[in-house]
Amino acid sequence: MSISGKSKRVVSIIALILIFAMVVGTIASALTGCGAANESSQTKETSNADPADGAADDDAQSEGVNKESAGESGAANESGQARAETAEGDKKAGKDTDSADGSAAEAEQNADTPSDDTLIRVAALKGPTTIGLVNLIDDSARGEADVNCEFEMYTAGSDIMAAMVAGKVDIGLVPSNVACVMNSKVEGGVSVIDINTLGVLYCVTADDSITSVSDLTGKTIYATGQGATPEYTIRYLLQENGITDAELTFKSEPTEIVSIFGEDKSAVAILPQPFVTAALAQNESLKAAFSLDDEWAKVNPACKIVTGVTVVTNAFLSEHKAAVDSFIAAHKKSADEALSDIDTTAALVVEQGIIAKEPLAKKAIPNCNIVCISGAELKSTLEGYLKVLFDEDPKAVGGSLPGDDFYYIP
């Protein structure tokens, strides 16, 4: 091989090496550029991402802070609300305590204040004094009364007095003079709360010549109510009319006197209603010659005959004043109904055994002088009559006249 040929080959190899070197350099440069670009890009990306991510982190942190702040604020609000609710609860508890204290005080006060629901034990007589009460008795039996009562019927005022003395009765309907005697017999005394019956006495006879008390001179007079208002009333009228020769003969029951008329057509009797009506119905020859109320008015117009009154033990009155007031109101209502609804009252009177038959009861009730007088009028009406009885016989009213406290004026 020639030198020129060798030279050419060497040159070609060198050229190839140079070319290869250039290619490698270019590749290396390219690779280096790509790394720088990546680094730059990564740096740029990192540079660009930091503020956003920081802001996001800041926002997230801020949101977290806000949430914590909100939580603290909520907790503070809840704490404040809890404190407020606690304070309100304490306040309410205070009010409830005050209310409880007030209720306890009110309950204690109410315990000392009489209650209208207090059970009242009432004793009544089988006679005109109870006719004004029968509607209340019926209302109580049906559970419709405005006052809480239980009733027991008696045949004599002395029996009611004995029951009151024994503490078995709170309120009783009795003859007016018996009330005065009871005032000294019952422990703590009694008070009159109303008048239930005015004059119910009539002179009954078949003798047409008898028209007034003055016509009774020399007569035998049959009557009931010895030692009670009928006797003292009759004696007073005889005395005021100057009659000293009339003879009083007492019987225990009006029915005994009615039977006498069948044997002695000239007999004269002083009877109370409703027995007057019964006697006239049984014997057509009899008549009511006069009313003792009318005869009383002639000699003493300042007062009236008071047949029956209602009394209460002072022990019961002091503890249950409101219940007593309720009873008076209920009694007044019942008495008014007795006069306004005679048909119903007549049936109730028969039911209570006061009068045997309804037709008879219907005729008798309007003549029974049923009332319910209370308050100041009670005192002014009753005290004058009791003074007459006292003057007639101090024993009639228990030996002395009662004081002002005997009359209950609400």
pLDDT in tens, 237-259: 999 999 999 999 999 888 889 88
Which pLDDT band, with edges at 50, 70 and 90, does 18 fall under?
low
- Write down the residue that tokens 């002088």 correspond to: 369
Residue 7 pLDDT > 70: no
CA distances from 9 to 12, 22, 24 (A): 5, 20, 22
Residue 51 pLDDT > 60: no
Which pLDDT band, with edges at 50, 70 and 90, does 103 fall under?
very low
Tokens describing residue 156:
């004599």
Across 92-96, 213-217, 299-303, the highest mean pLDDT is recorded for 213-217
Across 12-26, 109-123, 279-293, the highest mean pLDDT is recorded for 279-293
- pLDDT of 263: 86
Residue 33 pLDDT > 60: no
Residue 338 pLDDT > 70: yes
Cβ pair 138, 349 in contact under 8 A: no
Which has the closest alpha carbon to 330: 227, 156, 194, 210? 194
In percent, the amount of the chain with pLDDT more than 90 equals 56
Beta bridge partners of 197: 308, 370
Cβ pair 258, 275 in contact under 8 A: yes
pLDDT (mean) for 141-165: 91
Lowest average pLDDT, out of 166-175, 225-234, 333-342, 362-371, goes to 225-234
Q: Map residue 95 onto helix, strand or coil.
A: helix
CA distances from 153 to 85, 141, 183, 214, 226 (A): 64, 14, 21, 37, 20
Lowest average pLDDT, out of 94-108, 113-127, 150-164, goes to 94-108
* 7 or 357, higher pLDDT: 357
Cβ pair 373, 304 in contact under 8 A: no
- pLDDT of 222: 97
Which pLDDT band, with edges at 50, 70 and 90, does 121 fall under?
very high
* 167 or 87, higher pLDDT: 167
Which pLDDT band, with edges at 50, 70 and 90, does 345 fall under?
very high
pLDDT (mean) for 74-91: 39
Q: Is the backbone peptide bond immediately before 272 cis, with ω within 30 degrees of 0? A: no
